[in-house]
């Protein structure tokens, strides 16, 4: 356990900085993969779209079966939104809206510009579940994680940059 006394939670500024860092890393990854796909491979990165796990279920009153294919892109979505839930839970509604807008953007790009974008509207569901999971874990992890980060960052003088102290 960490010896530092936990605070009541990260400030809004700190949460937004963490979110900006997470989204920046995700955007950089998407950009690098898009450039690699379009200018080196000239085709899609098939192994990232291949289902690793398929979940199927049918409600008792429905005749159709629901299906969720989980691939590498889905896992990357889950990791991003889980991290957003842990480190920036206050802004959960904004992250859901950004997720919906991103899926619409992916649909537009896939439909009108290139066929190499893996858009799935089920990603909105996956993002939301991961976000809620991260927010729930945030309460349990907050005291330990923030205390460790604060101690480490205080030694380097970074904490004052994100905490405003």
Question: How confident is residue 1, by pLDDT bands cut at 50, 70 and 90?
Answer: very low
Global pTM value: 0.74
Is there a domain that residue 3 lies in?
no
Which residues sit opposite 69 in a β-bridge? 54
- CA–CA gap between residue 144 and residue 98 (Å, rounded): 28
Beta bridge partners of residue 67, listed in sequence order: 56
Pair 110, 121: CB distance under 8 Å: no
* Residue 5 within any structural domain of the chain: no
Structure tokens at 83: 């991290």
73 inside domain = yes
111 contact partners, CB below 8 Å, separation of at least 6: none
Give the closest residue to 89 by CA, choosing from 151, 160, 146, 40. 146
Residue 4 banded pLDDT, cuts 50, 70, 90: very low
pLDDT digits 0-9 by tens, 6-24: 456 678 898 999 999 999 9
- Judge whether 1 lies within some domain: no
Total domains in the fold of the chain: 1
Looking at the domain assignment, is residue 105 inside a domain?
yes
Helix (H, G, I), strand (E, B) or coil at 45: coil
Asked whether residue 6 is domain-assigned, the answer is no
Give tens-digit pLDDT for 73-103.
889 999 999 999 988 999 999 999 999 998 8
**Residue 42 within a domain:** yes
Q: Which alpha helices (H) appear in 37-121, and where do they start and end?
A: 46-49, 72-87, 92-108
Q: Give per-residue pLDDT as tens, 19-50.
A: 999 999 999 998 898 888 878 887 777 777 78
> What does the mean pLDDT of the chain come to?
80
Could you tell me which residue, 160 or 122, shows the higher pLDDT?
122
| pLDDT at residue number 163 | 60
Asked, for residue 112, whether it belongs to a domain, the answer is: yes
Q: In which domain, by residue range, is 29 found?
A: 12-55+65-158
Residue 165 has pLDDT above 80, yes or no: no
């Amino acid at each position: 356990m960490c010896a530092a006394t936990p605070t009541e939670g990260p400030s809004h500024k700190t949460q937004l900085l963490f979110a900006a860092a997470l989204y920046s890393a995700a955007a950089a990854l998407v950009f690098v993969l898009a450039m690699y796909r379009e200018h080196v491979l000239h085709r899609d990165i098939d192994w990232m779209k291949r289902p690793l796990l398929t979940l199927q279920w049918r409600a008792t009153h429905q005749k159709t079966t629901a299906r969720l294919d989980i691939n590498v892109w889905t896992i990357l979505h889950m990791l991003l939104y889980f991290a957003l839930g842990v480190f920036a839970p206050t802004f959960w509604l904004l992250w859901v809206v950004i997720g919906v807008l991103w899926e619409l953007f992916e649909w537009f790009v896939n439909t009108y510009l290139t066929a190499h974008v893996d858009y799935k509207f089920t990603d909105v569901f996956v993002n939301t579940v991961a976000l809620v999971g991260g927010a729930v874990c945030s309460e349990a992890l907050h005291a330990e994680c923030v205390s460790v980060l604060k101690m480490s960052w205080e030694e380097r003088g970074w904490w004052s940059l994100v905490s405003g102290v």
